[in-house]
């Protein structure tokens, strides 16, 4: 197992995003070959063991280091690709991995995330693998994940990139350091954030999703994140601007930069806010809130993993 400490301290391991991605790919390559030796659902075609040449291209429009889980999406796509090439997954036709296969992909992708971030929660990889919405809760040493099923056409989210870069690992370590110094205060904030998350889960799991019930929870969550000192001036200004257009917003990801997500009760408010953000030269996009998870498109002779 390659550790984050090793990647950060070893002078022979490159620090650029692209170079580190290549390192992750090599790690996933060797791990997938290890897994293939004991795989319980092997494919009849193992490209990597046949001496065939393989060309891999990565295309993504997800901003990097912005709290949108770009590293998890990359890790999941790369893990799926190498599991296919090693013969653990089929590449004969288009398919969505079953539960057992998804668990394998998620486990391997989580290893890659651990190299990148140190101690990832596992939420980003779970969402990338399974799609939809997921309620995440730490329970002892094993995280608990609950699926949230909402039709994507009924749920839009505006994403705005603050253009303030930050490292997830550094933000997480800063919060951990503050917790060591102010344990009671930080634990109280985290408890309140957890309570809000449970309330939001109940709203989203109701018979009818009511944004009017969800928006005050989003506002309270953002204030708690401010109190936790994981927001920043640029994020706060974007949230204030979006509020003027009737949207409710909060930071996403680790914080201290990255992206803001916002929801509106009226669909026309999205377009107005979208134009405002773009006029400020900020990357902004309206997306479906609950998209599909990992899916393999096999088009001979090319293979596409989403």
**Better pLDDT: 198 or 64:** 198
- The structure's pTM equals 0.77
Question: Which residues have a catalytic role annotated?
Answer: 124
Name the fold adopted by 152-288.
Alpha-Beta Plaits (3.30.70)
Cα–Cα nearest to 89, from 76, 74, 71: 76
pLDDT, tens digit (0-9, with 9 covering 90-100), for 20-52: 788 888 888 888 888 887 765 555 455 555 666
Please state the domain extents for the chain: 4-149+291-305, 152-288
Class of domain 4-149+291-305: alpha beta
pLDDT, tens digit (0-9, with 9 covering 90-100), for 197-244: 999 988 888 766 677 888 999 999 999 999 999 999 999 999 999 998
Cα–Cα nearest to 247, from 209, 219, 289: 219
Q: How far apart are the first and last CA of the chain?
A: 26
Q: Is 21 left (phi over 0), alpha (psi -120 to 50) or beta?
A: alpha
Percentage above 90 pLDDT, the chain: 33
């Amino acid at each position: 197992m390659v550790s984050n400490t090793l990647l950060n301290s070893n002078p022979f391991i490159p620090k650029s995003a692209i170079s580190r991605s290549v390192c992750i790919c090599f790690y996933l390559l060797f791990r997938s070959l290890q897994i293939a030796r004991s795989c319980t659902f092997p494919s009849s075609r193992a490209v990597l063991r046949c001496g065939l040449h393989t060309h891999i291209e990565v295309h993504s429009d997800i901003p990097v280091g912005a709290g949108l889980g770009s590293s998890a999406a990359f890790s999941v796509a790369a893990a799926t690709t190498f599991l296919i090439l090693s013969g653990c997954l089929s590449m004969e036709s288009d398919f969505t991995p079953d539960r057992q296969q998804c668990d394998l992909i998620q486990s391997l992708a989580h290893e890659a995330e651990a190299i990148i971030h140190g101690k990832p929660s596992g939420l980003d990889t779970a969402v990338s693998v399974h799609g939809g919405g997921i309620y995440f809760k730490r329970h002892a040493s094993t995280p608990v994940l609950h699926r949230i099923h909402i039709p994507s056409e009924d749920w839009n989210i505006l994403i705005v990139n603050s253009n303030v870069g930050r490292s997830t690992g550094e933000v997480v370590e800063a919060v951990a350091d503050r917790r060591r110094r102010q344990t009671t205060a930080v634990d109280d904030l985290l408890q309140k954030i957890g309570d809000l998350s449970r309330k939001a889960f109940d709203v989203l799991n109701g018979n009818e999703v009511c944004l009017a019930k969800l928006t005050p929870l989003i506002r309270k969550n953002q204030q708690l994140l401010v109190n936790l000192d994981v927001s920043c001036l640029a994020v706060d200004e974007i949230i204030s601007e979006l509020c003027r257009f009737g949207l409710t917003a909060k930071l996403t990801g680790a914080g201290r930069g990255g992206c803001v997500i916002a929801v509106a009760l009226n669909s026309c408010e999205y377009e107005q806010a979208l134009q405002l953000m773009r006029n400020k030269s900020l990357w902004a996009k309206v997306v479906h809130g609950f998209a599909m998870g990992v899916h393999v498109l096999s088009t001979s002779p090319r293979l596409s993993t989403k």
